[in-house]
A and B are shown apart, each in its own frame.
Chain A
Amino acid sequence: MAASAPGVFAYGGRPQAVVVNADASFNSASNPAARGSFVALFATGEGATTPEGVDGKLPVPDKWPAPAADLSVTFGGAPGEVLFKGLIFAGVLQVNVRVPQNAPVGDAVPLTLTVGSVSSAAGRTIALK
């Protein structure tokens, strides 16, 4: 059993991660997020949470279980500011993060989620402008 095994959800068969931009639209190459804005990404494998996770339970609003371990998100290696992290469904972690001004731009900027000492597999991307 691992302490964490983070993975970022993506559209089937593509590296583009499932990301919601600040205006509630889905991020894509044709709808990139601006640097300095915040985005929401979705992941799993965050490991233990606070409060303690309950098998299969739909989290209660305002009491979202948050990863117990440190969590960070990078955009092309540039760390973002994490604004929210919490389970919104059983097995589904939402992370709201501000894209740093020094992040690279492009249709497929590498997106990495790290929980504890484990990072998500390479290959997830986000579109930034």
Chain B
Amino acid sequence: MRAAIRVEGAGTKAWLWIRGDRPDGSLSFIDTMQNQPITTSEWSYCQLDSRAAEDSASISFGFLVAGSGKVWVDDASFNVIRSDPPEAPRALTETGLANLTAFARLLGAVRHFHPSDRAAQTDWDAFAILGVRVVEGAATAEDLAATLRSLFEPIAPTIRIFPTGRPPELPSDLRPPSAPGLQMIRWNHYGVGLRSTPWTFHSERVSAPVAGAQAPAGFLDPAQPYQAEIGRGLSAWVPLSLYADAQGTLPHASSPASSDVFRWVIEDRATRLGGVILAWSVVQNFYPYFDVVSTDWPAALATALASAATDSSAADYQRTFERLVAAQKDGHGYVWWQSGAGPAVYNLPLVWDWVEGQLVLTRVMADAAGLGIGDRVLRIDGRTVEQVKAETEELVSGATPQWVLWSALPIMAQCNGRTMQLEVEPWSSPGTTRTVELNCGFYSDWSEPRPGTVQELEPGILYVDLVKLTDADWAAALPSLQAAKGIVFDLRGYPLTAVYLQHLTRTPLLSEQFIVPSPLKPDRVDLAFTTERGSFDPLEPYLTARRVFLTDGRAYSGSETVMAAVEAYKLAEIVGAATAGTNGTINYNDLPAGFRVTFTGVKTLKQYGSQHHGVGIHPTIPATRTRRGIAALQDEVLLRGLEVVKWPAPGPTPAITAAGVVNAANFAGGAVAPGEMVTIFGSDLGPTQIALASYQLSGYLARSVGDAKVFFDDVQAPIVHAVATQVTAIVPYKRGATTRVRVEVQGRSSNEVTSQWQRRRRASSHTAAGPKRSW
């Protein structure tokens, strides 16, 4: 059964159902699509595949509604499902790969950008899979062109496929018509609307009246079709606007659309290949981050096709998709079975973390006899943890190493069977090993112990766990938060609410910039965007307490919306590690045979326009855990936050001396340059023993070392080292024409050097006077 459905009303869901009854009235079969409810206000087709019991005397059908909204159903139909015999795994030839690559490129362009009626009505799952079966075997480029024409011209009569450099005559239906009253039609994309796309995104065809020879505003000239280079020496013209009369786009279809319905199975090779093509082509045309991720997306298609051709199990095919999605380098890139379709996943009764280059147990459930917190895992089912980690991370999509790691850690704890063997070095017996056989089960809580959701850590210092905090918790805690001297917000994870931000500001806070791709052309050519942003408006009471936000690579997406506001508006010190570098609304692409792949459908830039994806929010005070601390049941990041929230600590005031700020390579004075490593001389600029910086897991140099921070025009700079008499830092890029420099140690600020201040050359036996430079 197939029908178009839409719903209106917040929280309203609808399902199709179908049932058969025997002559005596008893139930012979029943099916619903309860795992895939329709929740969007856009019309979308849904399909309920049922095996009708032969003893059914009657079939009934309908839909179910949950919620108080309205549901519309239209264009319902019954079809006999075609289920072709599955084709066995078989390796792709080089020619077959080139043919399927050409097919993938053309399919994406026609499916998403060619506005013919028949293309818009096409069952693209069937088109892709049946197309694979005929396209792959084309022996020559001429054969391929002929096969592609036979596939595409019935649904897109004005496309042309030709040897590159030998363009054909333009189809007459693309020239300005003489008939009056015509419309022009094109696709309008806001992101891309797919079968299960959330409401944020949509794709629909739009039209405008044609007046004269010029295309209406916002429409591309049909006589200037997009030229796609599809490989094997072939090009394709794909018109991106079409003329239409009252009966539809021109020329009118010569044959009715097929009403065949299929049942796709992963065991079928063409189904797997078609799924890859459908997934790849959506990302090829709509993924907004190819400008900042380093990936060879065409190569990813070739790898995935070759793999899908020979996959011999659903698990193999899942890994094929995981590798493809990993190539997106997208923290929102997931592969999963649609609800209820996948196998059960068991995992170990423990939580672990990658600490000081080791896999260390941070929590042990009661079922994990023989293990202790702080134990180091050496082997998992006989393989080294390094091997397991590397293999797992290969299958994780992420824009930053910290997100890939945090995503991989729980996956590493998933069991292949019902038991798993760990070899550990107990914290209590260094240098010894122990092998433990563990039973696997459903352990869903991947978190370490933390204080209560809102808890006073010390007199006047409150802790707020933003991963658990609800609006009601916040409202209840507000009076005590208002009286607090310090608040430690813990956002090492995903928040349920962001209401607290509104109590940390007296002026509206703009969100990051969310930029939705609105392409008119395939392959992201001339890609246009629509920018949206929200704001967090202030609420009373304003909280005057000193604040710290704890965060790390687990903070992604919505967490980063919060952390970006904290960073941009300097609402608090940020203690911990860099966030995931993944924000923007997620989109879903449901594929034949039950897989769903996801991608970030919106590009996010930080408040002031800098890159978010792959960067994230970096701590102002880096803090990490140690194995020793874990074994002592200490949350060292929290302890660091507790220390920082009480700054400024008592102590001497740092001072930059007259010798001031010099080039770190030659100690020459003068105006600083962006990216220059400079040394700042003075007193009490850092600890008594030199503290050296290191690159963080994120690949960034720390911005605080030995409790010292350096600011250029109020922008915190990366630091190389700090000691009482000098601190070496790197001048941030994109500073203004003036540069004010100051050092902060444990919250105590030095004097500020301004652009008017004339630096004197540092007396040094090993530097000679250079060209005189001034600020």
Question: A interface vs B, CB < 8 Å?
Answer: 1-5, 7-10, 12-15, 42-49, 52-58, 60, 63, 87, 90-92, 118-124
Contact = CB atoms under 8 A, between A and B. Distances in A.
A60 B294 CA distance: 10
Contacts of B771: 118-119, 121
B666 A10 contact: yes
Interface in B667-723: 667-668, 670-677, 695, 699-703, 715, 717-718, 720
B768 A121 contact: yes
B673 A14 contact: no
B165 interface: no
B499 to A, nearest CB: 31
Contact of A13 (B672, B703, B720, B765): B765
Contact of B615 (A3, A7, A54): A54
Interface of B: 294, 611, 615, 618, 663-668, 670-677, 695, 699-703, 715, 717-718, 720, 730, 732-733, 735-739, 755, 765-771, 773
B673 A57 contact: no
B672 A2 contact: yes
Contacts, number: 141
A49 B736 CA distance: 16
A2 B773 contact: yes
Given A10-B665, A48-B733, A1 B699 contact: no
A58 B699 CA distance: 5
A63 B668 CA distance: 29
Judged by DSSP, the binding face of A is loop
A124 B666 contact: yes
B770 A90 contact: no
A125 to B, nearest CB: 11
B718 A56 contact: yes
Contact of B674 (A48, A58, A124): A48
A14 to B, nearest CB: 6
A65 B161 CA distance: 41
B766 A58 contact: no
A2 B766 contact: no
Given A1-B739, A58-B699, A121-B666, A46 B673 contact: yes
B713 to A, nearest CB: 9
B767 to A, nearest CB: 5
Given A55-B717, A56-B700, A7 B663 contact: yes
Contacts of B739: 1
From B670, B673, B701, B771, residue with most partner A Cβ within 10 Å: B673
A7 B671 contact: no
B659 to A, nearest CB: 16
Nearest to B737: A1
B699 A45 contact: no
Given A44-B665, A90-B718, A121 B294 contact: no
Contacts of A60: 294
Contacts of A63: 294
